[in-house]
Structure 1
Amino acid sequence: MLHHLVFLLGMSLVAKEIFATSCCSQGQNALCYFCNLTEVPHVPKDTVVLLLSFNKIRQVNASSFPLLEQLQILEIGTQFVFPVTIGKAAFRNLPNLRMLDLGDNKILNLDPDAFVELSNVHTLRLYHNSLEESILEEDYLRDMISLEYLDLSGNKIKSLRPHRLFYHLKSLQIVNLKNNHISTLCEGNLDSFQGKFFILFILNSNKFYYTTSMDWAKCGNPFKNIALDTLDLGGNGWDADIMQHFCTAVNGTSIVFLKLSSHIMGPGFGFKNLKDPDNHTFAGLARSGVRLLDISHGYIFSLNPYVFQSLGDLELLNLHYNKINQIQKQAFFGLRNLGTLNLSYNILGELYDYTFEGLQNVMHIDLQQNHIGVIAGNSFRDLTRLKMVDLRDNAIKTLPSFPAMITLHLSDNKLVSVGNQRIHATTFLNLERNRLDNLGDLYMLLQVPDVQYILLRQNRLSYCVKSVDVIENNQLVYLDLGENMLKLVWDRGLCLDVFRALSKLEVLHLNNNYLTTLPQDIFSGLTSLNRLNLASNLLSYLSPGVFPESLKTLNMSENQLLSPALELFMTLSVLDITNNRFFCDCTLNTWTAWLNQTNVTLAGSENDTYCLLPPVFTRVPLSSVALDGCNEDELQKPLQFSLFIFTSVTLIIFLTAVIIFSHFRGTCFVWYKTIKGALLKERKQAIDTSAYKYDAYLCYSNRDFEWVQNSLLKHLDSQYSEKNRFTLCFEERDFLPGEEQITNIRDAIWNSRKTICIVTRQFLKDGWCVEAFNFAQSRYFCDLKDVLIMVVVGSLSQYQLMKYKPIRVFAQRSQYMQWPEDHQDVDWFLNNLSHQILKEKKVKKKSSVLEMQTVRTIS
């Protein structure tokens, strides 16, 4: 039984070793994160990097590592068990180790001889290990003569008095003591560091000088005889008094970059409990040669006069994330060498003419994330070396005046127009996310001769009123007009020449502009265009030749392309057509073949370039669509047959309708009148009987009376039928007996609205009829009204009619009516005749001026 237990225990240890080894990546770099290791695993002898963090290794001793002469980087941090113990000479078999990371082990127990024989280590990380000041005060690091970087942040060090062994660590340049509990640092504490030059010395977030009874005169200069490139003392919560005492204490110490961020100088907004720094606060730094000063993340409300007067060597001043609302006159006095000023994330509301006085050499000013709404006209006037101004995310409504510079950021403001304010020699102009709605402002911005980059994304460009044209030979290479409403501009035919003079433009963004079409020749002037962004529009069709030949990169994603012309994309290098609405029928066959063999780089995933229609191909990638049997002739046969059927049916219907109408046009006319009366409830036009006794006088030959009575009177005269609407006058009924014939004819003509002459062969032979025709024409010239209606009945030729002068004169000025030969046209003719009776037609009076003629006298 015992030998079975021994066997099982041995097998478990072997399995554990096998699984642990398999968790680690093989090769010269052994990554063994999260492998549940409880001891250092066996690795190849040529391992260079060994990473053992995130395991459960409790102890490392002299036997943990075999001889690994090539190992240079070792990481045993963040173990999930604690304490972690590092025994005597634990790393003696790692003679060429360069970096040792034992950080974040919560509790780390170090043997005094743990780091012996590590003469080549240049980086030692011991952060977050609950180490106390003994790690520095004793000789743990005596053999690390090559040490350059020591990280002891996040421990429990309360005092700082390094062991004298640090005299011999000549290479030490970076010390990180952030987040410890060091309360005091005075002269003599760092004697072991004297004579050294530190690239970075971090004492951030300790508890320096919290004691109110601090004797500054006795404390002295803790950095005496020490030179510092960067000294980080931020996060210690110093007010203006402590800041002044410290600056006085380090008088004369060489410090290039002094970080004093996360302080409590200043009262903030609405308070007066703490004072702002004044002209004495930084006076002690006058001989320190400080070139970079960071006093960000505080509560400074007002920059008082001469506050920085002692910092004549300062090149960068960082004041962001304070509560600065006021900049007094002469606040920047003495900063003759300042090149960069950061005032971002404050609460400045306005800039005055005196705001930047004394900054004659400043090149970069960061004013983003303030509340600036008003800028005086001369605020930047004397800043002749200014290259960049960042005014993003303020409340500026009017474009201020700027001197010549390279970069101007005005995004996220409230600009509604650029007006006529001139910007001099600006290369980069950012006006994104403002309230510009006139595309004509772009013409004004293009008057700047040196501008190369213009950003107008996320404005409201929706109309165009321009006062100037784009200057020739401009230098613009980048233009962003994305996320506007250019569709409203171009659909009205406005500003179609906006790109015509931009011959050097290389990049153009027109995405998210609701474009449904591209105006013809809109890109004709862009001879250098290399990249075009038309994404997220509503484009469904692209006309051939719309893109310039120089175009190499095109983004057409998220449009509504159905079957774009392939030749548009043949010359491109990069194409994005993802998330469109492709209709995958046989017309797209050449497209799918091209996609599978083209050298053009297709952006995005193949799965995002898919068919939307027909349903059988929905969401199928274009490259995977199989369109078999797409012969062009076969494809056109159904269309040709459909067109033949449609044309034939249409022609047959048309001919049938013509034949039916020609044979039954009379019936059709009756139906038309019946339907029109029923639907429109047409009312008969009332006849004015006050002016005339009769509606019409029928003039005809006595021999034609029977025909006239049957064909006209029975259908028109009201005495023949109640359905008839006209009161007609004719000889047999209405002429007075015994009266002269000529008198009856004259009275009938003048008492009737119209005279209807029924011209037949008998009419032409009847002298009284011809005389009546003459009387009717005489009334035409007297009343200047077309009162004569001539109806020709029978087969009278034009020649027979024209032999009679009265008829010839009438035919030259008016049209006569012909009685229809087909009986089914009679109703239509009677209807037309009724309209002629009621129709009033005025005749223009001819000039009465007569040409005088010479009368020859006969003797």
Structure 2
Amino acid sequence: MSLALLCMCISVFEVSTFSLTNCTVSGALNSMQNLKVFCYKMGFRTVPSPIPRKVRYLDISFNLISNIKVEDFEDLWNLRYLNLSNSNVSWIQEGTAEHFPNLINFNLANNKLKRVSEGLLNGLVNLQVLRLDGNRIESIDTYAFDSLQKIKVLNLSKNNLQQIANVKPVLLSAGLEELFIGKNNLDVFTSSDLSRTALSLKKIVFSQNPLTKFEISENIFPNLTFLDISHCGQNRRMLWNITDKAFLNSVTALNLTAVQIPEESITTVLHNTSWDSLNKLRISELKWIKAETLTQYACLPGLKVLRLQRNKISNVTAQMLAPCSNLTELDFGDNEISQISALKELTQLRVLHLQINKLTKVENAFRDLPMLEFLDLSRNRISTLTCSDFANLTQLISLYLYSNTISKLPPCIFKDLNNLENLRLGSNKILTLGMAFKNKLPSLKVLQLTYNKLSKIYKKSFSGLSNLRTLDLGDNQIFEIEAYAFSELQNLTELKLSSNRITDKTIRDPAVFSGMPNLKSLELYSNVISFVEDVLQMPPFGNLGSLEILTIHSQRRGIEKMPSNLLQGLTSLKMFYGGSMNLNYLHPDTFTSTPKLWFLELSKNAFADDGSITAEVFHPIPKLSKLIISRSQIHSLNFLINANLTRLSVLRASENTLDVINQTLIQSLPRLKFFDLKKNTFTCDCNNWFFINWALQSNYTQVIYLNTYTCSYPLSLRSKSILDLNTESCNVNLDFIMFLCSLIVVMLTLLVSFVYQFLHWHVLYAYYLFIAFLYDSKKKQQHGFTYDAFISYNAQDEPWVVKELLPNLEDEQGWRLCLHHRDFEPGRSIIDNIMDGIYSSRKTICLITYNYLKSTWCSKEIQMANFRLFDEQKDVLILIFLEDIPTHQLSPYYRIRKLVKKKTYLKWPKRGEDTRVFWQKLRMALETKEGPEEEKALLSGQEG
């Protein structure tokens, strides 16, 4: 095929197919509810097209689309969510939004818009959430939000509005409940500049504005429940002026984090304002205000939640927290607390955050918190725990102790925590579990012990955790597990043993995993498991009949060989992760024991050989619906053709060496929805024409990121898009070919019938002439004759030949004659014998009778003799009529009639007449070596 044809681009796409450039489509194209299109991070400079008209969720974020025109979108009546954020958009033509009137959520965040024009949002009558944050908006047209009657949430943060009056147009939407106007360079907020009538706002965020004044002189926020003025003010000089204490009495949550006000003004903010409904207060990052001052004024009578992060608090005393007796949640996270006194006053406390501090020990600080349910002590410096540290915390549900330096767990440490459900001890220095969990923690459901220094798990280490659901032992140094170590965990559903030093010897005994009848998930990845046997004597997972997920990928030394019965006993297995194990072969019986498997991940292996994976591997798992086999050195997917994977819906085979995807493979996967072939070595010729057309036109299967696929062969097209192949030049019109073939067959049938009916003898004559010509050409190379004459006669005239011809010509005159019955070579074809007899004789004598004229073979003999006469231009043919045959009776046999007209001939004398003259003339004809004129002079009495 010429390169010119190969390099022609395909530019025609159909709207009803998955042809949207590089985008991922989730859901059926004919679905009105779940169709989602993801086009983020594609480098688009224009809106991709065509967008499926029934799309409900469209994400075109993180692209380079600077301008959006009306024609970029067709009518998308079903569209509910549109994300155009982070796409460099600086201009949107008015009227564009009219193409998606049912839109509910519109995200235009982090673009370059400078103005909200009157027609930008026109038509969005159903819009509820609008994000315009992170733009460069300086102005908003007066009626820009006029049609947004259902808007509830508007985010205008990180723009350049500068004056609160510029926000007024958005308030024309009467139903607006949440307004974000942080980081807009607002230096003054005065309620009269925003509105003089009551607003429906329930949440307003002013954060990160350089406010020097915050004034509310009218009751414009009667429904406000959330107020955020964090990081506002300049140089600790912001003026707080609420002319009526009751103006903010509906606020339930207040954020004053890093607000720039003097220490003495905290009284004005918190005590000169009526906070009757306030129950959540965040006053973090006020480092210039004393902790005692903060708690003194912050702990209002109705306050339930107080957050004091990043305030450089070093000590927590009883006096400090005396006013906070009604608190249910207290957050001291990310401070510098090294000591904490007994918290006697906080009898109602349920949640306590002390993470990211400098605590080295607990010291009975929590014994007076009988209602405590959540305690976070993570990321401190705690090294030692005592039996009284968590005494009396009978209601505690969650305890976080991760990222400390704990090395030992005393047997009595958890003795009172009968309701504890979640315990996180990861990232410590625990060497052994000892008796810490024996007959303790009957309610525990989650135990996390990651990133410790455990090396061995002993039998009955977890005997007291009868209700445990998740046990995470990942990232330790475990290399030995005793038999029945988990046998008491009857309700365990998830066991994590990843990133340890587990080998095949560690799990050789099936009893290691016994006693867990409800285990659903087992993680063994990133260990050092390997096998040398083809078949294991004792498969390790034989006792895990309920296991549904097995993760064994990324073994550090590589398994290389997976025993054929490794998965024996896993009759409920549904998901298997087996990537990065350096596997080079899968035995056909590998998945015989896992008939329910629907997810299989085999990426980053070494299946380079043709026989590494065969179709038989998949026969035991007909329910497989997702197969991931990326980066596995595979150069063909033909092993899937006869695999009977009729339910496979997702196939990811990226970063292999696949060059051709044939039609048979595609047809063998009838339910395939997602096909990922990124970074393969495609051949750009007609072998892939079907795949390309199918990928572009299929309305069921989506080939993910098709436009990123490039050619590897031929070299002249390397790195070019695979879509540069002109598939139309490869497309053979089978209908036309079938029509043409049928036409040819009909015409040939008619022609053959016509020839046979009307030209049968002509064709037959031409054939024998051609055969004679070939034979004559060969004989001309030879010299001399074997016979003097070849006798052509009918078998019924053989008595005359024997009684008359032979005695006179051979016996008396000494001529050497060639006769059928005597001189033809047995076993040789008759035609070959006739040709050999004629061309081996100087003359051919034809004995003409009625029987002769009716004989097919006699006709062939005279035809061949006639051709020799024509070719050599010598009289080599002698006609003898043994019977009187009128000329008109020769007409059916017109070739003899022509010969009679052109040549002299002999007649056998009638009965009673003298035959000596006949024999004399025949002898003279046989002796003649010149042309026909000389012979004619020698013969007389014959008809001309």
Q: Same fold (TM over 0.5)?
A: yes
Query: Post-superposition shift, 1:428?
Result: 0.8
Alignment match of 1:500 (pick from 596, 603, 619)? 619
Alignment match of 1:232 (pick from 313, 331, 342)? 331
Query: Post-superposition shift, 1:322?
Result: 3.9
Equivalent AA in structure 2 for residue 485 of structure 1: A
Q: Compared with structure 1, are the counterparts of its residues 193 and 406 closer, same or farther at alpha carbon in structure 2 (3 Å cutoff)?
A: farther
Alignment match of 2:595 (pick from 461, 474, 486)? 474
* Structure-1 residue corresponding to 2:723: 622
Query: Post-superposition shift, 1:254?
Result: 4.1
**CA deviation vs aligned residue, 1:211-256 (integer Å, no higher than 9, x gap):** 4xx754x55655423334xx433223444x52xx35x43563241x
Tell me if the contact between 1:343 and 1:368 (Cα under 8 Å) persists in the aligned partners: yes
2:618 match: secondary structure:
coil
Tell me if the contact between 1:486 and 1:515 (Cα under 8 Å) persists in the aligned partners: yes
Kindly indicate whether residue 727 of structure 2 is the aligned counterpart of residue 608 of structure 1: no
Kindly indicate whether residue 477 of structure 2 is the aligned counterpart of residue 383 of structure 1: no
Alignment match of 2:276 (pick from 160, 165, 169)? 169
- Counterparts in 2 of 1:37-56, with a 5 A limit? 37=138, 42=142, 44=144, 46=146, 48=151, 51-56=155-160
Query: Post-superposition shift, 1:415?
Result: 1.8
- Counterparts in 2 of 1:172-251, with a 5 A limit? 172-181=278-287, 184=291, 189=296, 193-194=300-301, 197-198=304-305, 201-208=306-313, 210-211=314-315, 216=318, 218=319, 222-228=323-329, 231-239=330-338, 242=340, 245-246=341-342, 248-249=343-344
Q: Compared with structure 1, are the counterparts of its residues 74 and 469 closer, same or farther at alpha carbon in structure 2 (3 Å cutoff)?
A: closer
1:293 match: secondary structure:
strand
**CA deviation vs aligned residue, 1:444-500 (integer Å, no higher than 9, x gap):** 22421221111111112135689x875467322212122112345935xx9874333
Q: Compared with structure 1, are the counterparts of its residues 274 and 149 closer, same or farther at alpha carbon in structure 2 (3 Å cutoff)?
A: closer
Query: Post-superposition shift, 1:431?
Result: 0.8
Alignment match of 1:366 (pick from 472, 488, 493)? 472
In the alignment, the residues of structure 1 paired with residue 495 and residue 201 of structure 2 have an alpha-carbon distance, to the nearest angstrom, of 48
* Structure-1 residue corresponding to 2:387: 279
**CA deviation vs aligned residue, 1:348-379 (integer Å, no higher than 9, x gap):** 44433454353221211223333333333343
Tell me if the contact between 2:295 and 2:320 (Cα under 8 Å) persists in the aligned partners: no
Equivalent AA in structure 1 for residue 387 of structure 2: N
In the alignment, the residues of structure 1 paired with residue 402 and residue 224 of structure 2 have an alpha-carbon distance, to the nearest angstrom, of 36
Tell me if the contact between 2:384 and 2:406 (Cα under 8 Å) persists in the aligned partners: yes
* Structure-1 residue corresponding to 2:355: 261
Q: Compared with structure 1, are the counterparts of its residues 24 and 189 closer, same or farther at alpha carbon in structure 2 (3 Å cutoff)?
A: farther
Kindly indicate whether residue 520 of structure 2 is the aligned counterpart of residue 406 of structure 1: yes
In the alignment, the residues of structure 2 paired with residue 541 and residue 620 of structure 1 have an alpha-carbon distance, to the nearest angstrom, of 15
* Structure-2 residue corresponding to 1:751: none
In the alignment, the residues of structure 2 paired with residue 443 and residue 522 of structure 1 have an alpha-carbon distance, to the nearest angstrom, of 25
Extract unaligned runs of 5+ from structure 1. Answer: 1-17, 554-572, 636-859
Extract unaligned runs of 5+ from structure 2. Answer: 1-112, 125-129, 363-379, 738-944
2:566 match: secondary structure:
helix
Q: Compared with structure 1, are the counterparts of its residues 223 and 341 closer, same or farther at alpha carbon in structure 2 (3 Å cutoff)?
A: farther
The percentage of counterpart residues that share the same residue type is 21
Tell me if the contact between 1:302 and 1:327 (Cα under 8 Å) persists in the aligned partners: yes
Tell me if the contact between 1:355 and 1:379 (Cα under 8 Å) persists in the aligned partners: yes
1:147 match: secondary structure:
coil
Equivalent AA in structure 2 for residue 506 of structure 1: S
* Structure-1 residue corresponding to 2:570: 448
2:179 match: secondary structure:
strand
Query: Post-superposition shift, 1:118?
Result: 1.1
Query: Post-superposition shift, 1:60?
Result: 4.1
Tell me if the contact between 2:674 and 2:702 (Cα under 8 Å) persists in the aligned partners: yes
In the alignment, the residues of structure 2 paired with residue 426 and residue 535 of structure 1 have an alpha-carbon distance, to the nearest angstrom, of 29
Tell me if the contact between 1:65 and 1:91 (Cα under 8 Å) persists in the aligned partners: no
Q: Compared with structure 1, are the counterparts of its residues 330 and 315 closer, same or farther at alpha carbon in structure 2 (3 Å cutoff)?
A: same
* Structure-2 residue corresponding to 1:416: 530
Equivalent AA in structure 1 for residue 348 of structure 2: T
Of 361-370 and 88-97, more deviation after overlay is shown by 88-97
* Structure-1 residue corresponding to 2:396: 290
**CA deviation vs aligned residue, 1:7-45 (integer Å, no higher than 9, x gap):** xxxxxxxxxxx97555995457583754374x8874546
Query: Post-superposition shift, 1:532?
Result: 3.5
Equivalent AA in structure 1 for residue 309 of structure 2: N
* Structure-2 residue corresponding to 1:307: 413
Query: Post-superposition shift, 1:77?
Result: 1.7
Q: Compared with structure 1, are the counterparts of its residues 303 and 62 closer, same or farther at alpha carbon in structure 2 (3 Å cutoff)?
A: same
Tell me if the contact between 2:689 and 2:730 (Cα under 8 Å) persists in the aligned partners: no
Equivalent AA in structure 1 for residue 276 of structure 2: L
Alignment match of 2:258 (pick from 154, 157, 178)? 154
Tell me if the contact between 1:69 and 1:96 (Cα under 8 Å) persists in the aligned partners: no
In the alignment, the residues of structure 2 paired with residue 326 and residue 237 of structure 1 have an alpha-carbon distance, to the nearest angstrom, of 31
Tell me if the contact between 1:596 and 1:623 (Cα under 8 Å) persists in the aligned partners: no
In the alignment, the residues of structure 1 paired with residue 441 and residue 671 of structure 2 have an alpha-carbon distance, to the nearest angstrom, of 49
Q: Compared with structure 1, are the counterparts of its residues 180 and 584 closer, same or farther at alpha carbon in structure 2 (3 Å cutoff)?
A: same
* Structure-2 residue corresponding to 1:86: 189
Equivalent AA in structure 1 for residue 606 of structure 2: M
Kindly indicate whether residue 458 of structure 2 is the aligned counterpart of residue 352 of structure 1: yes
Alignment match of 1:427 (pick from 548, 567, 577)? 548
In the alignment, the residues of structure 1 paired with residue 132 and residue 189 of structure 2 have an alpha-carbon distance, to the nearest angstrom, of 21
Query: Post-superposition shift, 1:316?
Result: 1.6
Tell me if the contact between 1:293 and 1:314 (Cα under 8 Å) persists in the aligned partners: yes
1:508 match: secondary structure:
strand
Kindly indicate whether residue 180 of structure 2 is the aligned counterpart of residue 75 of structure 1: yes
Q: Compared with structure 1, are the counterparts of its residues 69 and 546 closer, same or farther at alpha carbon in structure 2 (3 Å cutoff)?
A: closer
Query: Post-superposition shift, 1:552?
Result: 2.4
Query: Post-superposition shift, 1:319?
Result: 3.1
Alignment match of 2:199 (pick from 91, 95, 100)? 95
* Backbone CA RMSD of aligned residues: 4.7
Equivalent AA in structure 2 for residue 356 of structure 1: F
**CA deviation vs aligned residue, 1:727-761 (integer Å, no higher than 9, x gap):** xxxxxxxxxxxxxxxxxxxxxxxxxxxxxxxxxxx
Tell me if the contact between 1:610 and 1:620 (Cα under 8 Å) persists in the aligned partners: yes
In the alignment, the residues of structure 2 paired with residue 408 and residue 508 of structure 1 have an alpha-carbon distance, to the nearest angstrom, of 20
In the alignment, the residues of structure 2 paired with residue 354 and residue 238 of structure 1 have an alpha-carbon distance, to the nearest angstrom, of 38
Query: Post-superposition shift, 1:438?
Result: 4.8
In the alignment, the residues of structure 1 paired with residue 390 and residue 115 of structure 2 have an alpha-carbon distance, to the nearest angstrom, of 58
Q: Compared with structure 1, are the counterparts of its residues 167 and 329 closer, same or farther at alpha carbon in structure 2 (3 Å cutoff)?
A: farther
**CA deviation vs aligned residue, 1:116-175 (integer Å, no higher than 9, x gap):** 4311122211111259799999988742233233222234687987846787533x4543
In the alignment, the residues of structure 1 paired with residue 434 and residue 570 of structure 2 have an alpha-carbon distance, to the nearest angstrom, of 34
Tell me if the contact between 1:40 and 1:65 (Cα under 8 Å) persists in the aligned partners: yes
Query: Post-superposition shift, 1:426?
Result: 1.3
Query: Post-superposition shift, 1:284?
Result: 5.9
1:483 match: secondary structure:
coil
In the alignment, the residues of structure 2 paired with residue 89 and residue 273 of structure 1 have an alpha-carbon distance, to the nearest angstrom, of 52
Number of aligned positions between the proteins: 574
Q: Compared with structure 1, are the counterparts of its residues 632 and 251 closer, same or farther at alpha carbon in structure 2 (3 Å cutoff)?
A: closer
In the alignment, the residues of structure 1 paired with residue 240 and residue 447 of structure 2 have an alpha-carbon distance, to the nearest angstrom, of 39
Equivalent AA in structure 2 for residue 608 of structure 1: T
Of 64-73 and 450-459, more deviation after overlay is shown by 64-73
Query: Post-superposition shift, 1:103?
Result: 0.3
In the alignment, the residues of structure 1 paired with residue 178 and residue 590 of structure 2 have an alpha-carbon distance, to the nearest angstrom, of 64
**CA deviation vs aligned residue, 1:813-843 (integer Å, no higher than 9, x gap):** xxxxxxxxxxxxxxxxxxxxxxxxxxxxxxx
Kindly indicate whether residue 113 of structure 2 is the aligned counterpart of residue 113 of structure 1: no
- Counterparts in 2 of 1:683-698, with a 5 A limit? none
In the alignment, the residues of structure 2 paired with residue 310 and residue 141 of structure 1 have an alpha-carbon distance, to the nearest angstrom, of 47
Equivalent AA in structure 1 for residue 621 of structure 2: L
In the alignment, the residues of structure 2 paired with residue 75 and residue 30 of structure 1 have an alpha-carbon distance, to the nearest angstrom, of 9
Query: Post-superposition shift, 1:262?
Result: 1.8
